[in-house]
Amino acid sequence: MGTFGFKVEAVDGPARAGVARSGHGDFLTPAFMPVGTAGTVKGITTAELRVAGADIVLSNTYHLFLRPGHRVIGELGGLHRFMNWSGPILTDSGGFQAFSMADRVKMDDRGFEFSSILDGSRHLLSPELSMEIQAALGSDIVMVLDECPALPAPRKRLEEAVARTTAWARRCVESYDGPGVLFGIVQGGTCMDLRERSAAELQEIGFPGYAVGGVAVGEPEDQIAGIAGRTAALLPEDKPRYLMGVGRPQDLVEAVARGLDMFDCVMPTRNARNGTLFTSRGKVNIKRAGHQRDPSPLDPECDCEACTKYSRAYLRHLFMSNEILGHRLHTIHNLTFYLRLMRRMRAAIFEGRFEAFRREFMSSPAVGVEP
């Protein structure tokens, strides 16, 4: 078991700015973690991640377990060395992907039994295997295996998921033997009394950090921040709170306003590859014919490589020609947008003007679509 520290450096209402210390250095909160599914944030290098402002990345246990295999990565010295990233790495448990992406899934108290989409081989992702994989990868922050029902779900389903998540969390703590630390995951869906129960049971076990799971899995978008905020209030003030898989820029702002500290989402990177780009003037669909002859930068307020070296016309051309360089530049831009937003929130918290920042951002063109 590794070491982990977290210090809240400033608060502004429920919003917090902090610093977390991991086995591979510090990261600042509010933190957004770019998603490097298969040991790479698609299309860009770790040096470019640094330039974009990332100081922690997330990688996916399920994908790396199937290919190239956690034992291979372990033998090669762990994921940090494998992907050439010297900073902190958080890995998910693999349960969510095993459940949602695999073939012929069967879930019970043992874990998730599934068939590999690569070769059909049958696997049981138990809490113990998830810990073994994440230990071999050498993750700094290891997520417990949890059960995350899609919403809406009947109360009984949510209740079972909470019980199973607590039981699995205990098994994870008992079996984990690696260089990182474990975060617990609060479930309970839209039932706040179940979330209360889940948060209490996990705190009885005791974790150096807690995640809010089961959010943005089918409930109305306008409930996301509310559920996340009410769950954050159930968690200890001196530990980081991680809202899993969320979300849009406005979701991040509303969640920070309610006391969340850490985030991950494929939205900036996946949207980049689809040609949907976040800018200070709103979301841009780079495919639009109107950009064909546009010599102006994608976002004049952005200092990333895509915005400082190329025109909208060129970015559109790369996208229309399905050129790799387009995916790459768009990914750099969207991540730069997200990571700058995190830094701006952090600054606003330190300066005691987070509420003004939030109001300004939520009424800015950035939350809409560029006309």
Nearer to a copy of itself, 161 or 286 (CB): 286
Angular region, 13: left φ>0, alpha ψ -120 to 50, beta rest: left
* Residue 62 in the binding site for a copy of itself (CB under 8 A): no
What is the widest separation between alpha-carbon atoms in the chain? Answer: 61
Tell which one of 21, 42, 281, 283 touches a copy of itself (CB under 8 A).
42
Binding residue count for a copy of itself, defined by CB under 8 A: 35
* Residue 315 in the binding site for a copy of itself (CB under 8 A): no
Taking alpha carbons only, the member of 365, 292, 363, 303 closest to residue 333 is: 303
Smallest gap, in angstroms, from Cβ of residue 311 to a copy of itself?
Answer: 6
Nearer to a copy of itself, 8 or 325 (CB): 325
Site string for a copy of itself, 69-88 (x = CB under 8 A): ---x--xxx----xxx----
Smallest gap, in angstroms, from Cβ of residue 52 to a copy of itself?
Answer: 15
* Residue 266 in the binding site for a copy of itself (CB under 8 A): no
Match 């900036």 to its residue by tokens.
Answer: 268
Rounded distance between C-alpha atoms, residue 90 and residue 88, angstroms: 7
DSSP 199-227: HHHHHHH--S-EEE-S-SSSS-GGGHHHH
CA dihedral defined by 38, 39, 45, 46, rounded to 10 degrees?
A: 150
Smallest gap, in angstroms, from Cβ of residue 114 to a copy of itself?
Answer: 19
Tell which one of 26, 305, 350, 364 touches a copy of itself (CB under 8 A).
305
Tell which one of 8, 192, 313, 347 touches a copy of itself (CB under 8 A).
313
* Residue 274 in the binding site for a copy of itself (CB under 8 A): no
Nearer to a copy of itself, 60 or 279 (CB): 60
Tell which one of 324, 343, 365, 368 touches a copy of itself (CB under 8 A).
324
* Residue 39 in the binding site for a copy of itself (CB under 8 A): yes
Q: Are 346 and 292 in contact (CB under 8 A)?
A: no
In the region spanning residues 84 to 113, those forming contacts with a copy of itself, defined by CB under 8 A, are 84
Smallest gap, in angstroms, from Cβ of residue 262 to a copy of itself?
Answer: 25
User: H or E stretch including 105?
Assistant: strand 103-108
Rounded to an integer, what is the distance from CA 197 to the centroid of its chain? 24
Nearer to a copy of itself, 127 or 326 (CB): 326
Nearer to a copy of itself, 40 or 116 (CB): 40
In the region spanning residues 333 to 352, those forming contacts with a copy of itself, defined by CB under 8 A, are none
Rounded distance between C-alpha atoms, residue 339 and residue 327, angstroms: 18
* Residue 287 in the binding site for a copy of itself (CB under 8 A): no
Name residue 210's amino acid.
Y
Radius of gyration of the chain (CA): 20
Rounded distance between C-alpha atoms, residue 145 and residue 355, angstroms: 35
Q: Which residues does residue 181 pair with via DSSP β-bridges, in sequence order? A: 141
* Residue 317 in the binding site for a copy of itself (CB under 8 A): yes
Smallest gap, in angstroms, from Cβ of residue 224 to a copy of itself?
Answer: 30
Verify cis geometry, omega within 30 degrees of 0, for the bond prior to 152: yes
Match 């990914």 to its residue by tokens.
Answer: 331
* Residue 309 in the binding site for a copy of itself (CB under 8 A): yes
Tell which one of 266, 325, 347, 367 touches a copy of itself (CB under 8 A).
325
Nearer to a copy of itself, 196 or 294 (CB): 294
User: H or E stretch including 310?
Assistant: none
User: H or E stretch including 289?
Assistant: none
Q: Which residues does residue 46 pair with via DSSP β-bridges, in sequence order? A: none
Tell which one of 11, 38, 101, 205 touches a copy of itself (CB under 8 A).
38
Helix%, strand%, coil% for the chain, nearest 5: 45, 20, 35
Catalytic residue list? 92, 264
Could you list the residues that contact a copy of itself (CB under 8 A)? 38-40, 42-45, 67-68, 72, 75-77, 82-84, 292-293, 295, 305, 309-311, 313-314, 316-318, 320-321, 323-325, 327-328
